[in-house]
C-alpha cells in the first residue's frame, strides 16, 4: 500500500511515518467491523496476555536458580526443583495459551472475513450501476480482497503481538524492581531514550508525509501517462519522450526521500541503537559491575538484569512495523465501512409494473456532486419502436442522460417513467428485463462464449443463442474458435474489440429488452468490422425503442428524432433534414464533423465499398 525506495537500514523513522501517515482514520470503523467477533477476540487477547506473562516466568525462575547456585549451599540445591518445575509449567502454559490465543484469533478472524466478504458482496450487488461504473472495479477489488486481508493481519496477528510486547516487559520490569530498584531504573533508561529519539526522528513527519503523498501521486500519474502514451510516442519515433516525465517524477521522489532519510538518519539510528539488546546489556553490565564491586548488590542479583533487562526496551524495536499494521488496518476499515455505508439502490416500497414501453423524461435534472447540474430540465419522449439519437459536444451530458434509463443513477429532480411507472418504483429485475444497454466498453466474462451470450437469459436454448449470434454477425467467428460456442474467453482466446462488441450485441439480442440504450462506438478497427457491427446494431434496433449516444452524426441521420444536448439542456430536437433546414446548433455540429471528416459525415453509405457507416435506422428498416 505504499511505495518506498530501497534505503539504508536505519531509515525507519521515515518509513514508519509513511506507515503511520497512510491514514489518520478514527478507530471507530475498526471497532464497528470487529463487533461480531469481539467476544472471541477479547478472549484471545486475554489468553495472549497470560501467555506473555507466563513466558517471562521461566526467565525469572532461571535467574532465581542462578542466584541460588551462586549464593547457596548444597542443601539449598534441593530447593531448586520447585523452580525448575515452575519454569517448565510456566513455559508449557505459555505455549498452550499462546497457541490457543492464536487459534482463537484466527478462527474469529476467519468468521469476520467470511461475514465481511458476504456483506460486501450483498451490498455491492445492490449498489447503483453508476456507482460501480464510475469508480471501476479497482475499489471493489481493494475492499473485498486487499482491505479484508489487511484486517486479517491486524486481528489475527498484530493484535496479539501488541499484547505480547506490552505485557511481557511490564512483568519483567516489576520483577526487576523487586530485585534492585536502582538497576531497574537504569534498565528503563534505554526505553525512555528510545522513545525520545524516535519521537524526534518523527518530528515534522506530517509535512513530510504530505510531500510524500504528492511525490507518489506524481509518479502514479506519470506512470499511467507513460503506459498509455508509450505506443503513440514510439510510433512517432519519440520513444524517449514517453518516459521523460516518469523518470523526472521518480528522480524527484528519490531526491525527496533520500533528503528525508538523511535528515532523520542520525536520530533514528540512535533510537534503534539504544534499544538494541547488546547495547542494553552493556548499559546494565557496567553499572551492575560497579554496584557489585561496591557491595551495593550481590553478583547473583545482577543475573536477572542480564537475562531479562534487554526485554524491557524490546517493544521499541518492533513498534514501527506494528504501528504501520494498525494504521493500515484502520485505513482498510475506513474504506470497507465507507463502501458498506454507500446507499444502495432503494427498492420500491410500492412496486409498480410498466404498462407498455413508452419512456418519458419530465423536467429531469441530475447532478453527480449535488452542487452542479449536469442535466437541467430535460423533457424527452421515446415512443415505442423509435430511434432517438443524442448528439452534442463532448461533456454536454449525453452519456449521463442515457445512463438514467437503466437506472445507473437516479434523477436529482423530475421523473423518468417507463410505461407510466416511475423507474424508482419498478423492481430492479423487472426494469432490467425491459431496459437493456450496449456500452462501448464491452465487458466479457471469463466464461464460455455461449454463457457470455446467455447472461441476460440463462435458460435460452442453444438454437436461440446461435440465432442471436448469427443476427449479431459473430456466429462465423465463433465457429472458428477452438471449441466453438464452448470456448472459454479470456484464457487461450481473446476477441478483438469489434468481435467483443458483436458478442455483446448478441447478448442484448437474446436478452430481448424492448428498450435499449446504445453507446455507439467511436472507432472501428477497419471498414469490414464497422460494416459487421452496423449490421449487428441494425438487427438489434429492429422493433425496439432505442436511445443512441451518437458520436458520429452520419450514423444517425435517419433517426426518428435527433436530440441536441448542450450544457445538459436540450437545445434542439427533430429529424435530420428539419434540423439542417433550421440552421441551428445541429447544422453547426454537422458542418464541423463534415469538415473534419469529409468522407465520414455525408453520404457515407454510398461511398464505401462495404456497408460501413450505414445508419442504424436504415438497417432496422431492412
Ligand atoms: N461519474 C461522474 N462523476 C462526476 N462527473 C461526471 C461523471 N461522469 C461525467 N461527469 C461530468 O458530467 C458532464 C457530462 O458528462 P457526459 O459523459 O455525460 O458527457 P458526454 O456528452 O457523454 O461526453 P462525451 O461525448 O465526451 O462522452 C461532464 O462535465 C463530465 O465531466
- Read off the pLDDT of residues 216-253 as tens digits, 9 standing for 90 and up: 777 877 777 777 667 667 666 666 666 787 888 899 88
The pLDDT, as a whole number, for residue 2 is: 36
The pLDDT, as a whole number, for residue 135 is: 53
- Mutation choice for ligand 1 from 129, 398, 409, 569, CB with most ligand atoms inside 8 A: 398
117-138 per-position pLDDT tens digit: 888 888 887 777 766 665 555 6
- Residue nearest atom 6 in ligand 1 by C-alpha distance: 368
296 compared with 70, residue with greater pLDDT: 296
Among 225-229, 334-338, 382-386, 474-478, the range scoring the smallest mean pLDDT is 225-229
| Secondary structure of residue 409 in the 3-state scheme | coil
Above 70 in pLDDT, residue 108?
yes
Atom of ligand 1 nearest to the CA of 130: 1
The pLDDT, as a whole number, for residue 241 is: 66
For the CA atoms of 405, 406, 412, 414, the dihedral, rounded to the nearest 10 degrees, stands at 30
Residues of the chain with CATH 1.20.1560.10: 26-179+321-345
**Model ipTM value:** 0.97
574-614 per-position pLDDT tens digit: 998 898 888 888 888 888 877 766 554 443 333 232 333 33
pLDDT tier for residue 473 given thresholds of 50, 70 and 90: confident
21 compared with 488, residue with greater pLDDT: 488
Using the mean position of ligand 1's atoms as its centre, give its distance from the Cα of residue 411 in Å: 15
Nearest Cα to Cα of residue 544 among 521, 503, 513, 575: 513
Q: Could you tell me if 356 and 434 are in contact, meaning their C-beta atoms sit under 8 angstroms apart?
A: no
- Residue nearest atom 1 in ligand 1 by C-alpha distance: 134
In the chain, % of residues over pLDDT 70: 83
Mean pLDDT comparison of 169-173, 492-496, 528-532, highest-scoring range: 169-173
Q: Which CATH number fits domain 359-621: 3.40.50.300, 3.40.50.2300, 3.40.50.720, 3.30.930.10?
A: 3.40.50.300
16 compared with 536, residue with greater pLDDT: 536
Question: d(Cα 118, Cα 115) in Å, to the nearest integer?
Answer: 5
The pLDDT, as a whole number, for residue 542 is: 74
Above 60 in pLDDT, residue 21?
no
The pLDDT, as a whole number, for residue 138 is: 60
436-455 per-position pLDDT tens digit: 888 777 777 888 889 889 88
Above 50 in pLDDT, residue 370?
yes
Q: Could you tell me if 558 and 384 are in contact, meaning their C-beta atoms sit under 8 angstroms apart?
A: no
Question: d(Cα 607, Cα 527) in Å, to the nearest integer?
Answer: 12
Average pLDDT over residues 308-332: 78
Question: d(Cα 585, Cα 237) in Å, to the nearest integer?
Answer: 40
Using the mean position of ligand 1's atoms as its centre, give its distance from the Cα of residue 325 in Å: 38
Using the mean position of ligand 1's atoms as its centre, give its distance from the Cα of residue 125 in Å: 24
**Cell reading at 52:** 506473555
Residues 6 or more apart in contact with residue 252 via CB below 8 angstroms: 215, 218
Average pLDDT over residues 502-519: 87
- Mutation choice for ligand 1 from 400, 412, 589, CB with most ligand atoms inside 8 A: 400
The pLDDT, as a whole number, for residue 44 is: 95
Atom of ligand 1 nearest to the CA of 551: 25
Question: d(Cα 13, Cα 324) in Å, to the nearest integer?
Answer: 12
Using the mean position of ligand 1's atoms as its centre, give its distance from the Cα of residue 400 in Å: 6
Bridge partners, 387 (sequence order): 546
Pairing of strands 561-566, 569-574: antiparallel
The pLDDT, as a whole number, for residue 40 is: 93
In the chain, % of residues over pLDDT 90: 20
Among 94-98, 302-306, 346-350, 461-465, the range scoring the smallest mean pLDDT is 346-350
Using the mean position of ligand 1's atoms as its centre, give its distance from the Cα of residue 393 in Å: 11
Residues of the chain with CATH 3.40.50.300: 359-621
Question: d(Cα 369, Cα 375) in Å, to the nearest integer?
Answer: 12
Ligand 1: list residues with CB < 6 Å: 134, 368, 374, 392, 394-400
| Mean of all residue pLDDT scores within the chain | 80
- Mutation choice for ligand 1 from 131, 368, 437, CB with most ligand atoms inside 8 A: 368
pLDDT tier for residue 300 given thresholds of 50, 70 and 90: confident
- Residue nearest atom 3 in ligand 1 by C-alpha distance: 368
131-161 per-position pLDDT tens digit: 666 555 566 777 777 788 888 888 888 899 8
| Secondary structure of residue 442 in the 3-state scheme | coil
- Residue nearest atom 30 in ligand 1 by C-alpha distance: 395
Domain spanning 26-179+321-345: which CATH class is it, in words?
mainly alpha
Amino acid at each position: 500500500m505504499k511505495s518506498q525506495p530501497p534505503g539504508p537500514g536505519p531509515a525507519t523513522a521515515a518509513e514508519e511515518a509513511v506507515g503511520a501517515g497512510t491514514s489518520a482514520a478514527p478507530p471507530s470503523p475498526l471497532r464497528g467491523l470487529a463487533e461480531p467477533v469481539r467476544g472471541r477476540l477479547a478472549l484471545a487477547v486475554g489468553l495472549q496476555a497470560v501467555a506473555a506473562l507466563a513466558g517471562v516466568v521461566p526467565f525469572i525462575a532461571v535467574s532465581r536458580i542462578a542466584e541460588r547456585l551462586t549464593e547457596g549451599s548444597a542443601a539449598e540445591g534441593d530447593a531448586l526443583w520447585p523452580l525448575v518445575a515452575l519454569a517448565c509449567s510456566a513455559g508449557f502454559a505459555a505455549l498452550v495459551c499462546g497457541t490457543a490465543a492464536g487459534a482463537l484469533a484466527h478462527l474469529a478472524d476467519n468468521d469476520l472475513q467470511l461475514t465481511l466478504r458476504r456483506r460486501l458482496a450483498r451490498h455491492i450487488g445492490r449498489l447503483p450501476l453508476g456507482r460501480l461504473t464510475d469508480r471501476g472495479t479497482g475499489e471493489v477489488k481493494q475492499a473485498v480482497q486487499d482491505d479484508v486481508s489487511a484486517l486479517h493481519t491486524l486481528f489475527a496477528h498484530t493484535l496479539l503481538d501488541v499484547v505480547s510486547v506490552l505485557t511481557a516487559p511490564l512483568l519483567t520490569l516489576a520483577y526487576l524492581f523487586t530485585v534492585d530498584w536502582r538497576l531497574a531504573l537504569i534498565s528503563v533508561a534505554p526505553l525512555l531514550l528510545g522513545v525520545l529519539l524516535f519521537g524526534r526522528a518523527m518530528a515534522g513527519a506530517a509535512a513530510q508525509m504530505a510531500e510524500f503523498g504528492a511525490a507518489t501521486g506524481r509518479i502514479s500519474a506519470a506512470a499511467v501517462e507513460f503506459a498509455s502514451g508509450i505506443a503513440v510516442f514510439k510510433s512517432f519515433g519519440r520513444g524517449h519522450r514517453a518516459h521523460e516525465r516518469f523518470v523526472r517524477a521518480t528522480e524527484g521522489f528519490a531526491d525527496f526521500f533520500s533528503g528525508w532519510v538523511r535528515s532523520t538518519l542520525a536520530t533514528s539510528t540512535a533510537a534503534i541503537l539504544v534499544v538494541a539488546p547488546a547495547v542494553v546489556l552493556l548499559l546494565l553490565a557496567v553499572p551492575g559491575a560497579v554496584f557489585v564491586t561496591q557491595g551495593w548488590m550481590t553478583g547473583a542479583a545482577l543475573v536477572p538484569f542480564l537475562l531479562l533487562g534487554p526485554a524491557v526496551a524490546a517493544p521499541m524495536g518492533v513498534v514501527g512495523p506494528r504501528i504501520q499494521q494498525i494504521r493500515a488496518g484502520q485505513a482498510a476499515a475506513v474504506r470497507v465501512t465507507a463502501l458498506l455505508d454507500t446507499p444502495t439502490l432503494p427498492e420500491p416500497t410500492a412496486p409498480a409494473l410498466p404498462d407498455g414501453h413508452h419512456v418519458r423524461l419530465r423536467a429531469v435534472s441530475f447532478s453527480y456532486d449535488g452542487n452542479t447540474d449536469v442535466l437541467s430540465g430535460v423533457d424527452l419522449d421515446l415512443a415505442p419502436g423509435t430511434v432517438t439519437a443524442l448528439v452534442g459536444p463532448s461533456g454536454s451530458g449525453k452519456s449521463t442522460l442515457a445512463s438514467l434509463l437503466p437506472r445507473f443513477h437516479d434523477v436529482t429532480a423530475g421523473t423518468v417513467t417507463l410505461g407510466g411507472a416511475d423507474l424508482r418504483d419498478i423492481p430492479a429485475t423487472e426494469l432490467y428485463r425491459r431496459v437493456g444497454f450496449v456500452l462501448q466498453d464491452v465487458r466479457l466474462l471469463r466464461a464460455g462464449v455461449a454463457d457470455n451470450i446467455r447472461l441476460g437469459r440463462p435458460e435460452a436454448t442453444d438454437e436461440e443463442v446461435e440465432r442471436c449470434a448469427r443476427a449479431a454477425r459473430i456466429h462465423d467467428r465463433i465457429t472458428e474458435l477452438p471449441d466453438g460456442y464452448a470456448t472459454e474467453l479470456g484464457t487461450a482466446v481473446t476477441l478483438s474489440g469489434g468481435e467483443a462488441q458483436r458478442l455483446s450485441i448478441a447478448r442484448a439480442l437474446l436478452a430481448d429488452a424492448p428498450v435499449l440504450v446504445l453507446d455507439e462506438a467511436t472507432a472501428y478497427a477497419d471498414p469490414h468490422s464497422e460494416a459487421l457491427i452496423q449490421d449487428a446494431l441494425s438487427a438489434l434496433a429492429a422493433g425496439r425503442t432505442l436511445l443512441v449516444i451518437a458520436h458520429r452524426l452520419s450514423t444517425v441521420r435517419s433517426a426518428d428524432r435527433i436530440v441536441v444536448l448542450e450544457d445538459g439542456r436540450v437545445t434542439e430536437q427533430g429529424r435530420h433534414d428539419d434540423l439542417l433546414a433550421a440552421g441551428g446548433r445541429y447544422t453547426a455540429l454537422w458542418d464541423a464533423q463534415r469538415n473534419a471528416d469529409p468522407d465520414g459525415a455525408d453520404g457515407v453509405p454510398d461511398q464505401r465499398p462495404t456497408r460501413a457507416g450505414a445508419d442504424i435506422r436504415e438497417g432496422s428498416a431492412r
